[in-house]
Amino acid sequence: MPLLLARVDDRLIHGQVAYGWGRALKPTLYLVVSDAIRADPVRSDVCLFGVPEGARGRVVSVAEALEPSVLSEIEAERTLLIVPGTDEPVRLLEGGFPLAELNVGGLHHAPGKLEVLPYVFLDALDRDRLRAVAARGVRVIARDLPSNPSHPIERWIGEGGPSASAGAREP
């Protein structure tokens, strides 16, 4: 399956995704998977404004992403899959989506979240979900741009609460 990158990024399609990753990977399809965004036609249209010329974008729900027609579309294209949070990858995997690696590229500050990297803030629920993804054999890394190093995320999703997350700090 030519899924080039599966990325968690709460900003969806923006400069880092469209140009940083887009120039490196040359995707032909930017696929946003989100039930909430799919249900809102205005948000769907706005989130696709960042798709670079020469590629196309599409917003689908988690259920739609699991449909054979969408899986075939992913297979036929050079796909960059973007989800806004940690819930979607868990649900995709539970539905049988073939995912080998998940890039946590942008989860920004929100109440109750602790900084683990300048571009990744996690709360207990995020850590639980990322543990669930990793438990299914998916390699989970944090990496903002292809020119920067990747960071295995295991050190921040260890068992326990926020105090158990080595390196986590209040912003």
Model confidence band, residue 160 (pLDDT cutoffs 50, 70, 90): very low
pLDDT digits (tens, 9 = 90+) for 25-74: 999 999 999 999 999 999 999 999 999 999 999 999 999 999 999 999 99
Range 3-164 has CATH code 3.90.180.10: no
- pTM assigned to the model: 0.90
pLDDT digits (tens, 9 = 90+) for 107-157: 999 999 999 999 999 999 999 999 999 999 999 999 999 999 999 888 888
Kind plus residue range of the DSSP H or E element containing 65: helix 62-65
Distances (CA, A) of 52 to 26, 82, 152, 171: 10, 15, 29, 33
The answer to whether 114 and 168 are in contact (CB under 8 A) is yes
